[in-house]
Structures are given as structure tokens and as C-alpha cells.
Amino acid sequence: MLFTDADLPRSPEQVAPGAMWLPGWLTRDQQAWLARQFHMWAAGPVPPRSAKVRRHEMSVTTVCLGWHWRPYAYSRDAVDVNGRRVLDFPDWMVRLGRRILFDATGDAQQAETYTPDTALVNFYDATAKMGMHQDRDEISRDPVVSLSIGDTCTFRFGNTENRNRPYRDIALASGDAFVFGGESRLAFHGVQRIHPGTAPDGCGLPQGRINITMRVTGLETGQPL
């Protein structure tokens, strides 16, 4: 065969009302550029750390931009790491979030006013997972916009009521974008597993997975949640 299914372009797909999967949204060069940014962020004033949820350490490590997240609050300073202020949220990432949101929704007005002010950048090694949870630590209910780089993961996207069915398992690959807002803004979701050895050549990450999630906190400067 000249082509397999993996070689064919994948079309955007609505997973649930308000939730859109954009396969292959990033080019390979863009993935590599973002991977380099991640390494610079990780070398910044606040190192990546595994947050503790109910005294249990998460298997992913996280570095934050704009606001520092810890369960279940945001602050400007990394009070649970080293007390230092996190890196600013870059202007180019605001523009990036707006472009993804427009491609996901086609709503130019919503995209033009979308102004994320924090990003949680998670790194998954081969054994990392993330349990089903809601992104509800933000005051704002503007959409969450995410990007994946590196190894493919099995991403489970569920309902807004509980961690049980109905849910759908999706293979999020390097370069994929995923947006959830509206009716799905508080949907439970998580990462069931990482598939080692699936990172494409040239993506900037030979192993593991980077997930960048952009959010709008709804907080004012200097105001902790």
C-alpha cells in the first residue's frame, strides 16, 4: 500500500457540544519550536514540579505561565515550590489561542475577544497518567484550548456530571489541538495512558508528551484565587 490511514489528513471533529478536536493543527516545525519554548520555560524561575492532590503526587510535572496553579487555586508566585513569580504569559500565545479557537468554532467575535492569561504546561513520561477531573479552578468559563506535542496519548473526554460513562477515548497525537467550552467547559477529562515511541521525527520531543492548556482565569492582577 502506498498510504495507510495514518498518512491521510484528519478532519476536525466535534466530540461533544462545545468540544472540538483539530488533528494535525500544528506543523512539524511549529511543534519543534514549541518544544524548545518548553525547555526554556522549564529552566525558568520556577522549575516543573509534580503537584499534590489530596496528598498524592501527580505523575505529570507542570510548569505554569502567567499564573501559578496548585490544587485548587491560582497565585502569581509559586508558593508551593520556591516562592518565585512565574514567567509572564506570552503575547504570542494569546494570538495562538485565538487562532485555534476560531478554527474550532468559526466564531470570529468569540475568538477576537478570547484572552487567555495562564497556561499549564504538563510533561508526561511513558508511565504518566491524569485522572478524570474538571477544570473548575478558574473564575472564567471561557474555553480551554490545548495543544499536544510528542507521544500520542489516550485522552478520555467525558460528561459534566461525573467520571463515569458516557465518555469517549481519543488518540491525541503530536500537533493536535483540542478545545472545550460552552456546554462542555466543565466536562470531566483525563489521560489514560501514553503510547511510547509514537512521537514523530522532527517534533522536537523524542519521547514523552507535552500538553499546553491555555485558560482564562478571570482574575485581576495581584488578586489570588
What is the amino acid identity at position 172?
Answer: L
What would the 3-class secondary structure string for 29-69 be?
A: HHHHHHHHHHHHHHCCCCCCECCEECCEECCCEEEEECCEE
Mean confidence (pLDDT) of the chain: 95
The pTM assigned to this predicted structure is: 0.94
What are the tens digits of pLDDT across the range 7-26? 556 789 999 999 999 999 99
Whole-angstrom CA distances from 167 to 158, 159, 171 are: 4, 6, 13
In a domain, 159, yes or no: yes
Has residue 220 been placed in a domain? no
Question: Is 186 a member of any domain?
Answer: yes
CA-based max dimension of the chain: 59
Which CATH number is 180's domain given? 2.60.120.590
Structural domains of the chain, count? 1
Instruction: Please state, in angstroms and rounded to a whole number, the distance separating the CA atoms of residues 129 and 21.
Output: 20
For residue 1, pLDDT beyond 60: no
Q: Which domain holds residue 102?
A: 14-215
**pLDDT single digits (tens) 87-140:** 999 999 999 999 999 999 999 999 999 999 999 999 999 999 999 999 999 999
Judge whether 169 lies within some domain.
Answer: yes
- Amino acid letter for position 23: P
- Domain-located, residue 4: no
Q: Per the domain annotation, does 21 fall within a domain? A: yes
In a domain? residue 136? yes
Q: pLDDT at position 10, please?
A: 74
pLDDT tens digit sequence for 41-77: 999 999 999 999 988 999 999 999 999 999 999 999 9
Query: Does 221 map to a domain?
Result: no
